[in-house]
Amino acid sequence: MQTDEQEFRMKLHRPMMSAIALGISAAVLLLAAAAVDAASDSARPMVRIAELEIDPEQLDAYKAILAEEQEASVRLEPGVLMLHSVAIADNPNHIRLLEVYASRDAYEAHLKAPHFIKYKTSTEKMVKSLRLVETTPILLCAKGRAGEPATCM
């Protein structure tokens, strides 16, 4: 049980303390430090939200091509850390992606990857609108595979 004063003093340092307590790797700690660094630096993670509206008649085809591109990007590209896609439940031709790249350079490399170029050209006429929203990550936490601890960065 902590006093209110202790709690207040610890507030800003808790995320980093929790990360250490989890015993996550030095590489992930470096990434987390980079994420909160306000300096403009091509080596810090780049996290973005993409908001797309898809032609309803081509929605199933679009989702299949998107899923293939996500899987290939995260599997094959060292700098593509996460690609999560969802459809808005009550407006399913509205798609949102959360994209996490190790750096801006990793993102630039992704734009040149054959699977991305294939996705971009084959979905060009399916996408009615695309809005790219730059973000600053606060904390990205995911459960590990069976038996492994959670990881935050």
Residues that bind a second copy (CB under 8 A): 11-12, 14-15, 18-19, 22, 25, 27-28, 47, 49, 60-61, 63-68, 70-75, 80-90, 92, 95-96, 98, 133-146, 148-152
Smallest distance, Å, CB 112 to a second copy?
19
What lies within 8 Å, CB to CB, of 58 at 6+ separation is 125, 126
Shortest Å distance, C-beta 12 to a second copy: 5
For 48-81, b/e burial (b = at least 16 CB within 10 A) is eeeebebeeebeeebbebbeebbebbeeebebbb
Residue closer to a second copy by CB (options 82, 109) is: 82
Among residues 108 and 150, whose Cβ is nearest to a second copy?
150
Are the C-beta atoms of residues 144 and 151 closer than 8 Å to each other? Answer: yes
Closest CB to a second copy among residues 22, 43: 22
